[in-house]
Structure 1
Amino acid sequence: MSSDRAALLLEEAGRAAGCTRCALHAGRTQVVFGEGDPDAELAFVGEAPGFHEDREGTPFAGRVRALLESLLGGVGLSLDQVYLATVLKCRPPGNRDPLPEESAACEPYLYRQLDLVRPRVVATLGSFATALLSGRALGITRVHGQEQDVTLGGRRVTLYPLYHPAAALYTPTMLEVLERDVARLPQLLAGEAECVDATHARVPVADLAPPAFPRGEGRERQPVQLGLF
């Protein structure tokens, strides 16, 4: 099964590499499709490639990747065991907010990735990815660390919103919250947690619809020194 999924993901990545569905294709260095275990039970979904991702062609590059690897290592997981993706596959100029037409152009690639990998838990990093996949326009400060049941492509999935590691690089207190939230991932993967919404009421399984996208992550600021790199 792994080889079949890997081949299909590679095929989809090839299609994305030549994508001209929106204006972002004109300014990209390369498409940042996604990477990781094609049979992963855990997927991380962020917003869009940044400067380093655009240059390297991989999601969550540089200091963000190192922090994510450190956080996973703290709970006995590694990057080799997860799948990494972003909603947008091309970097918005100046790391600006994604436009609705850009998100609409890229969504089919993301949904196809998740349909092929079939993760049990999807950890959304930041407000944008969380709003898209939850179908609810709630900021990440309200819903982080609160798992939800959603359906993706007809499959029941645990959606788990987290602060984006890039934002945690700027704020030590946010890093502490992110560490606590990430610490619950093994429990979620074991199916031992009950899904709740932002008011601690159980979330009904619902088909997803694209919402308005709240913003919450910091951008282009000097990160605090965390001693990780």
Structure 2
Amino acid sequence: MAGAVLASLVAVPAGAYALAGGEGERDAQIAAPNPSDGARRTSAAPTPGPMRPATHGQLLDGITFAQASDGLEKCLTAERGAPSAPLGEAKDYRIVLAAESASGSVTGDSFHVVGVREHPAGMRVVCDIEDGEASGFSTGTSADDPPDAGPVVPDLNSEGLFQPSTADKGSWKLPFRWAVVGTVEPSVAEVSVSYGDATRQAVLDHGWFVASGVLDRQVTTAPHIKGYDSAGKLLYDSDQDKSWARMLP
């Protein structure tokens, strides 16, 4: 993880109300619009935020879209001073996943959010929120993909989504929320991810795949990912991908 990140809307009523008179008196008058009012009364345009995921099921563990958006904004704000990546603004991103942090137990006080954008190609950020504050940040683009990458490319730098931190690897906190994300080419119609005893069909969201689940036991084998075309033909198998480690470290 490289480092650690919506805005409030101000609504101005269409008419102005005046209060006048002595105690207990209230004189409400709706001011008719006129040119001079325009100089005094301006409505702040809503600040655009990130786009929603393709399905509600990508917002997990009770995390709302508003919470995920706020978390992404916090991380981007905290990291914007770093010149290592053209982060952009929250409105440039689509949130594809929000889930309880894989580095902690299922308590609801910490979570991560994954935001993606088209420019640079395959740009994604994984952002950790701990007790309302940005605490971790990781970025990646398609430029980081292996030169022989296939039609499905798991995000090699987001292992924190499906395994605990180094300090907890010897004793996982269960139940354990996991997730896997990556990019897919248009030829891919279905992606399945097997982890532990379960196999999940991933959501395909604007060129990305997202799969998640909950483990009730500690595992040593990494998620097994397969991609198929619309006819059911196998296009990708992570067991054949030299860049994807089959065993957890």
TM-score, reference length from structure 2: 0.28
Q: Larger helix proportion, structure 1 or 2?
A: 1
Q: Which has the larger radius of gyration?
A: 2
The TM-score normalised by the length of structure 1 is 0.30
RCO higher in 1 or 2 (8 Å CA, sep ≥ 6)? 1
Specify which structure has the higher proportion of strand: 2
